[in-house]
Amino acid sequence: MSNSRAILVIIFVLLIFIALVIRLFDIQVLKSDELKYFAKRQQITTEKINAERGLIYDRNNVLLVYNRNDVSFYLYLRMVSADDKKKIANKFSSVFGESKSHYISLMNDKGKTICLEKKAQSDKALLLKNFKINGLFFQDDPTRVYYYKDLASHLLGYVGNDYHGIDGIAKTFDEQLSGQDGSMVVLRDAIGDMITVAEEETKPAVPGDNLILTINKTYQSILEEELRNGIEKYGGNSAVGIIMDPNNGQVLALANTSDYDPNEYWKYSNDDRRDRAVTDTYEPGSTFKSFSMAALLDKKLCNENENIFVENGKYKFKNVNITDSHRNGWLTVRGIIEESSNIGMSKLVQRIDDDSFYKYLRAFGFGNFTSINLPGEVKGTLRKPNEWSAVSKAFMSFGYGVTVTPIQLATAYCAIVNGGILYQPEIILKEVKRDGEVVLDQKPIKVRRVISEETSARMRSLLVGVVKEGTGTNAQLSFVTVGGKTGTSQKLIEGKYSKQGYNSSFVGFFPADNPKIVCLILVNSPTIGRYGGSVAAPMFKNVAERIINTNSSLFENPSRPDQQESEIKVMFTNNTHTRPANNLSEKPALVKQAKVLNPLNKNVMPDLSDYSLRDAILVLAKLGINYKVNGSGKIIAQSILPGEQISRGNTCVLTCKEKEVEGTAVY
């Protein structure tokens, strides 16, 4: 090799060496901090630990909403080879059951990162635990699960893609349910696999609080089923139902039709997801007469037995026609409520001055928020007296010219029948941390006294008459006394009252002498039958019967609340092998079995012959026996014979018939 060539080689090597030294100096000295930052960001990451969302239970600790620990799988396309794509397609196809071509098609996308599987359940995700491919990674992606699907959907609400509440309780109590996210520092290798977690720098997540609701899952199911049955039977655009405890304002059930499944909320329209019980207003019609009458009775401006001329069904008041559906001449005040006379009510309301009438309606909560813990509540409309026309008060007295929400009306009826106290409606019983600490134990909130206890008792009596003798007879039960009021109002469409569109409603309560349940049923535009008494009242009856069948304590005789089991006396036959209870068509003188009073024996079936249905059901409730009822009136037969051995949970079929003595029905 010539000297010149050797010198060139040496110079070339020297230049390369100098370039390397300069590059190393640039990396190690000049850009040291910057490169360290990028290295740490690539290999050491701070990742969020998602807090588990709080669980939701009904009042009896039935789990309604929980979380599922799902996992989503992603692929960074720039790091995956063609051979790896085939491996991924084979593996994912075997685990999830999709075709290989499905995954190949996904991986042919032009994006940087794709989702191979969204919200895979944990049992499937575990099968991929040891499957390692460059660019394949997963993320925890919890799913909110509504166990009973559409049950109480409008009340529960739902969560969006960010796992935060969008509607219902999920929105109102989002902060309490969400908890606090944690964080952890993770060290990864060059291809992104986890090496270790810096335990000392990990901040654990704090799970959200659990909520225990006031609703009863059984009552909720009954209400929803009967609303659907009613829409199917009578037609209509929609229906709303509310069940409340009048003695504390707790909402025991709240339902709308149509409802939706919060697990797949995106499949439903905004209209389906709207909670009409709090967001929609309507003119209540005759159900509003109860509040007008309560104001009059409380001010001692009328009494139940005075007579009012109701103009044979047609009345011109200040050049405006007021009509009744029934052509009556004279009616008592009681009859005005029972027959739901608009004319009678419009005459009576003239006895109360405008300001006093307005104050009573305002005190019942109309024109204001109830403050129920659900989003979207509206006030309704209640104009001030200085905005009234000459006929406003007359029309307001029977439910026109004022708008209410269903929750307002149900809450106000609770005050009518509970002794006169307006309670704030509640949907939360308790808020509890995961360790059992009670954060909130909701007590009833008394808003104000609206009417006296005496007025409330008189109103209960009047409303019982509506069901026994008046427009609400289709709500009557044979074994417990019911009170209530029907309502039928024309819908205001484009500024005119429709002759085809009606809101049909019924608000009822039971047991009448000690109300424990208030139930509102509202049907929007029924196509078969339009009156509240022929549409909503039968729906109420079905709800009430089913509720009573699930909880017989609701209709134990409230006039004897301190009665002990040992004091209950039941008739037994001397012969324990007698035939079923005697047919009451036989004359009493021909009944030969001698009967004696004995203490209740919980192991032996008593003879219930000649018992009223109410008393018989009370006895069966004390014995822990289920029952079914055929007919009404007195007991004439029972499927479990007197003297037979019994155990809790048995079912006894009671056959009843009205007993006639000299042509007079005995109930």
The whole-angstrom separation of Cα 664 and Cα 652 is 29
Q: Which of the pair, 6 or 168, is modelled with greater confidence?
A: 168
Q: What is the pLDDT of residue 597?
A: 33
Q: Across residues 500-520, what is the average pLDDT?
A: 93
Listed residue (507, 395, 406, 426) closest to 459, CA to CA: 507
Higher-pLDDT residue of 492 and 443 is: 443
* 483 inside domain: no
- One domain, residues 590 and 654: yes
Exposure string of 104-119, with b = 16+ CB inside 10 Å and e = fewer, is eebbeeeeeebebbee
Q: What value does the mean pLDDT take over residues 185-203?
A: 59
Instruction: Name the E strands within 586-633.
Output: 595-599, 626-630
The answer to whether residue 77 sits within a structural domain is yes
More confident residue, 661 or 443: 443
Secondary structure (3-state) at 239 = strand
pLDDT tens track for 146-155? 999 999 999 9
Give yes or no for residue 76 having a pLDDT over 50: yes
Measuring CA to CA, which residue among 483, 470, 480, 463 is closest to residue 531? 470
108 Cβ contact partners less than 8 Å away, ≥ 6 residues apart: none
Q: How far is CA 495 from CA 380, 403, 492, in A?
A: 17, 14, 6
Q: What is the pLDDT of residue 189?
A: 57
CA atoms within 13 A on the CB side of 215: 28
187 pLDDT more than 70: no
Could you give the C-alpha distances from 305 to 227, 334, 462, 595, in angstroms and in order? 37, 7, 11, 44
Contact present, 69 and 106 (Cβ < 8 Å): no
User: Which of 213, 230, 260 corresponds to the end of one domain?
Assistant: 213
**Residue that has been written with the tokens 């008592």 in this structure:** 332
**Residue 605: what pLDDT?**
86
Task: Specify the 3-state DSSP secondary structure of 210.
Answer: strand
pLDDT band, residue 224 (cuts 50/70/90) = very high
Supply the pLDDT for residue 42.
56
Measured between alpha carbons, how far is 620 from 652 in angstroms, rounded to an integer? 8
Q: How confident is the model at residue 590 (pLDDT cuts 50, 70, 90)?
A: very low
Tokens in use for 75?
């692929």
Residue 399 in any domain: the answer is: no
State whether 31 and 114 are in the same domain. no
CA nearest to 517, candidates 473, 548, 475, 485:
548
Q: pLDDT-derived band of residue 138, with 50, 70 and 90 as boundaries?
A: confident
Least confident of 8-12, 324-328, 580-584, 617-621: 580-584
Answer whether residue 115 shows pLDDT above 70.
yes
Q: Would you say residue 363 lies in a domain?
A: no
Please report the pLDDT score of residue 557 as a whole number: 44
Name the band, by pLDDT with cuts 50, 70 and 90, for residue 41. Answer: low
User: Is 65 a member of any domain?
Assistant: yes
Same domain, 615 and 597: yes
Report the C-alpha gap between 289 and 345 in whole angstroms. Answer: 7
- In 62-135, the DSSP E strands lie at 63-68, 71-76, 113-120
- Model confidence over 464-475: pLDDT tens digits? 999 999 999 999
pLDDT at 44: 64
pLDDT band at 185 (very low <50, low <70, confident <90, very high): low
Q: Are residues 21 and 64 in the same domain?
A: no
Write the CB contacts of 651 (distance below 8 Å, at least 6 apart in sequence): 625, 626, 627, 628, 639
Consecutive H or E run containing 20: helix 3-25
Q: Are residues 195 and 87 in the same domain?
A: yes
Q: Write the CA distances from 593 to 278, 611, 642, 645, 652, integer angstroms.
A: 59, 15, 12, 20, 22
* pLDDT over 90, % of the chain: 53
386: DSSP letter: G
- The pLDDT of residue 34: 58
24, 113: one domain? no
Task: Between 43 and 11, name the one with better pLDDT.
Answer: 11
pLDDT tops 90 at residue 357: yes
Sign of the torsion angle spanned by Cα atoms 263, 268, 269, 272: negative
Output the domain CATH number for residue 96: 3.90.1310.10
Q: What is the mean pLDDT of the chain?
A: 83
pLDDT bucket at 600, cuts 50 / 70 / 90:
low
User: Same domain for 30 and 123?
Assistant: no
Assign 666 a pLDDT band (cuts: 50, 70, 90).
Answer: very low
Taking Cα atoms as reference points, which of 413, 410, 546, 428 lies closest to residue 155?
Answer: 428
Q: Rounded to whole angstroms, how far apart are CA atoms 480 and 467? A: 12
**Local confidence band at 655 (pLDDT 50, 70, 90 cut-offs):** confident
Averaged pLDDT for residues 355-384: 97
Band the pLDDT of 26: cuts 50, 70, 90. Answer: low
pLDDT of residue 552: 67
| Res. 495 pLDDT band, cuts 50 70 90 | low
Decide if pLDDT at 190 tops 80: no
Query: How much is the average pLDDT of 375-389?
Result: 96
Between 111 and 542, whose confidence is greater?
542
Are 204 and 55 within one domain? yes
In a domain, 316, yes or no: no
Q: Looking at the structure, do residues 110 and 188 belong to the same domain, yes or no?
A: yes
pLDDT > 90? residue 136:
no
At residue 196, the pLDDT reads: 56
Of 161, 192, 213, which marks where a domain is finished? 213
Mean pLDDT within 491-512: 82
Amino acid at 526: P
Task: Give CA–CA dist 495/188, Å, rounded.
Answer: 68
Domain co-membership, 588 together with 641: yes
Residue 242 clears pLDDT 80, i.e. is over it: yes
Look at residue 452 and tell me whether its pLDDT is greater than 50.
yes
pLDDT for residue 43? 60
134 and 107 within one domain: yes
Count of domains observed in the chain: 3
List the beta bridge partners of residue 505: 487, 522
Q: Are residues 13 and 54 in the same domain?
A: no
Per-residue confidence (pLDDT) for residue 561, from 0 to 100 = 29
Percent of the chain with pLDDT over 70: 82
Band (306; pLDDT cuts 50, 70, 90): very high
Does the pLDDT of residue 18 top 60, yes or no?
yes
Segment 563-581, tens digit of pLDDT: 333 333 333 333 333 333 3
pLDDT at 175 over 70: yes
Residue 128 lies in a domain: yes
Higher pLDDT residue, 15 or 584? 15
Q: What is the pTM of this model?
A: 0.76
Q: Is residue 400 a part of any domain in this protein?
A: no
Q: Band the pLDDT of 29: cuts 50, 70, 90.
A: low
Which pLDDT value is given to residue 102? Answer: 87
The reported pLDDT for the residue numbered 620 is 80
Q: 620 lies in which domain range? A: 565-666
